[in-house]
Structure 1
């Protein structure tokens, strides 16, 4: 190529680049690979032998870089083909009735959309890998002092962690005699029924999907309540007894029943006890989740479609409200006053689902008495209360303490993780500011204490299972 031709080519290439620049089309960043293909044949050679299996477990970092390289290659090849092909094409000619610059814009937007979709896929895969890296064995977590570095020792010794719970049980002498049988309430059940009185915004939809899958595998029927415009969470004794007979106790075979409802004391109603299970979530994260979930367009549209005119659409101002501003500016919607009896609809009381239906005790927000009753009910009546924040631990405990229903739970969960991991998930939730988090924490002290108590119990159940399998761990240093 002559000097003049080379200069002409560079000018044409610059014209195309300017089209990207001034039309605000994203210019592809340079990949870490030193050399990139500069023609279609080389590009086909480079990318043609790649295995584009988006569901595989290969190196996702390399995959993302290759996607970035593909974007850059398409861009470079397009520029070269247009500028070397005819000259006039770069100066505004049309191609099938479309301006060349518009064609470039369309191709660039298509590439950007392609990258956006598969970057989302990468984020999902990374989250799944984080879940897989949660503790499933003592050695993986480092449940001996040999596995704990000085830098991490303080964090691991926190009683609200699995390692901290282990060290606490060991230091207090409880580890020597701890067994899973001591912590297993399943044999006390008088019905072959799991009663999942699910707490709102804890990932209960995901558990319901898992129960459906396990029902086919383990031979039980997974049932749920009939969806209504209002959730009946609190019931008087007459209503509760009628509900149990019409919905819960009317199945003869092995089954599960799921509903948003406060803890029911079956002794008070002279009814046989089922196997109680539930899920919890960090109280602050629950509030944030509900705030934005209630404003999600798809949630509002779904309710409108299901309930028609009864589901009144909120104002645009309400939908656009920001939770951080709501907390920091003391908006009435986001003021969590101590001992208040109202605002049942915003699901601020996780404790209510474990406390029960005595409103004078269980409704005062963040009360000590409600927390204590909830703790007692969890300890005495629930087989397992887990959390998706400790996925492997929760699934292991469910498999170990309720094997008839949850055998194969981990296998089924990870086989369908892409489906189960995104059930009812709101991916457009803004981040909570540290100031707002601190303000919430001061108003949720008992709710947070209950949550930590339940996680401590879950860890204790998990540790007991591992000790039964490997008694040597009782003497580990």
Structure 2
């Protein structure tokens, strides 16, 4: 079920990402003109209120999300909860009204229940609802960008006849190194510019400032949300250890997860992904400063949780 849903998701998600020479990843400079800075920079977080009978996995693309989804599906019957996968795959950023609709649908569902969706963090408390337990998975930021870049092309090649506009041969065959050399939007992560492809917004939220590359406020907001609302944020590079932490901390949902992981193994691996040279990797690493800081912050937090298992 998870693999079929994932395949359909990819077709829908990437249906509008193909053009002559690039994708719809657009970089534009951000300006706070006309925005109340005090509202952005000094916003107070609401009192913490968590509903432990509901769990939300706002999954990040190319970060073991399919493996985690399959584990949740497999465990739902065993641990007597319902898992609900969103049928919306290409809407990561929500208006205030859409956030309210999402939150209401979660709190109105019969518990115990778990949810997954590719979406930026939604602060249920600020909307007047108890928050579900949030979880997520992250991956080395450079490796995730590389994987996502080539996975979009792999999906486009497999479903090329389904597109209203046929992907160009140039776009399909363009290497990441060439994309970086040309400064194409889909592989540019420029400080102070809006970009949809990086990791921080998944934990920061829906304010436009969350999407600004290497913005200090966005990074700190992401850290605060992780500490307050995310019981576990795991690492792809430490998947087995992450699952062990989830079993220990959230047994109502993840009891038996290690056994399931051993049985099903990793999913959605792109065998067509080529190697990427060191220069391209280094440039991505230098540009993804805040993603790297957040990744290490999450890694240190997970290591502390692993130590608590002993």
Alignment TM class, shorter chain as reference: 0.7 to 0.9
Structure 2 match to 1:262: 120
Say whether residues 1:373 and 2:231 are aligned partners: no
**What is the distance in 2 between the residues matched to 1:321 and 1:379?**
39
* Mapping for residues 265-304 of structure 1, pairs under 5 Å: 265-296=123-154, 298-302=155-159
Structure 2 match to 1:362: 210
Out of 196, 199, 208, which is 2:69 matched to? 208
3-state DSSP of counterpart to 2:153: coil
C-alpha change, 1:331 and 1:363, in structure 2 (3 Å) is closer
Which of 1 and 2 has higher RCO (CA within 8 Å, sep 6+)?
2
Say if 1:191 and 1:272, in contact at 8 Å, map to a contact too. Answer: no
Say whether residues 1:243 and 2:102 are aligned partners: yes
- Cα displacement (A) at 1:299: 4.4
* Mapping for residues 211-226 of structure 1, pairs under 5 Å: 211-226=72-87
Structure 2 match to 1:116: none
Say if 1:221 and 1:256, in contact at 8 Å, map to a contact too. Answer: yes
- Cα displacement (A) at 1:301: 4.0
C-alpha change, 1:302 and 1:314, in structure 2 (3 Å) is closer
Structure 1 segments of 4+ aligned residues over 3 angstroms from their partners: 298-305, 328-333
Let me know the Cα RMSD of the aligned residues: 1.9
Out of 464, 467, 474, which is 2:308 matched to? 464
Task: Flag the structure with higher helix content.
Answer: 1
Structure 2 match to 1:98: none
- Cα displacement (A) at 1:461: 0.7
3-state DSSP of counterpart to 1:371: helix
Show CA shifts across 1:262-319 (max 9, x none).
Answer: 11111111011111100101111111111101111x44544865xx63xx32100110
3-state DSSP of counterpart to 2:260: helix
Say whether residues 1:197 and 2:50 are aligned partners: no
Show CA shifts across 1:107-137 (max 9, x none).
Answer: xxxxxxxxxxxxxxxxxxxxxxxxxxxxxxx
TM-score, normalised to structure 2, is 0.80
Runs of at least 5 residues in structure 2 that lack an aligned partner in the other structure: 1-47
C-alpha change, 1:366 and 1:464, in structure 2 (3 Å) is same
* Mapping for residues 434-453 of structure 1, pairs under 5 Å: 434-453=278-297
Q: How many residues align?
A: 263
Out of 314, 331, 337, which is 2:190 matched to? 337
**What is the distance in 2 between the residues matched to 1:232 and 1:387?**
24
Structure 2 match to 1:234: 93
**What is the distance in 1 between the residues matched to 2:122 and 2:88?**
19
Say if 2:160 and 2:166, in contact at 8 Å, map to a contact too. Answer: no
3-state DSSP of counterpart to 2:174: coil
Show CA shifts across 1:68-116 (max 9, x none).
Answer: xxxxxxxxxxxxxxxxxxxxxxxxxxxxxxxxxxxxxxxxxxxxxxxxx
**What is the distance in 2 between the residues matched to 1:277 and 1:412?**
18
Say if 2:200 and 2:211, in contact at 8 Å, map to a contact too. Answer: no
Runs of at least 5 residues in structure 1 that lack an aligned partner in the other structure: 1-186, 467-477
Say if 1:300 and 1:313, in contact at 8 Å, map to a contact too. Answer: no
- Cα displacement (A) at 1:189: 2.4
Say if 1:263 and 1:356, in contact at 8 Å, map to a contact too. Answer: yes
Task: Flag the structure with higher strand content.
Answer: 2
**What is the distance in 2 between the residues matched to 1:332 and 1:220?**
42
Out of 134, 159, 166, which is 1:313 matched to? 166
**What is the distance in 2 between the residues matched to 1:286 and 1:242?**
30
**What is the distance in 1 between the residues matched to 2:272 and 2:211?**
31
TM-score, normalised to structure 1, is 0.53
Say if 2:121 and 2:202, in contact at 8 Å, map to a contact too. Answer: yes
3-state DSSP of counterpart to 1:219: coil
Say if 2:156 and 2:167, in contact at 8 Å, map to a contact too. Answer: no
- Cα displacement (A) at 1:335: 2.5
Show CA shifts across 1:136-156 (max 9, x none).
Answer: xxxxxxxxxxxxxxxxxxxxx
**What is the distance in 2 between the residues matched to 1:356 and 1:464?**
29
**What is the distance in 2 between the residues matched to 1:392 and 1:329?**
39
- Cα displacement (A) at 1:326: 2.1
Say if 2:134 and 2:229, in contact at 8 Å, map to a contact too. Answer: yes
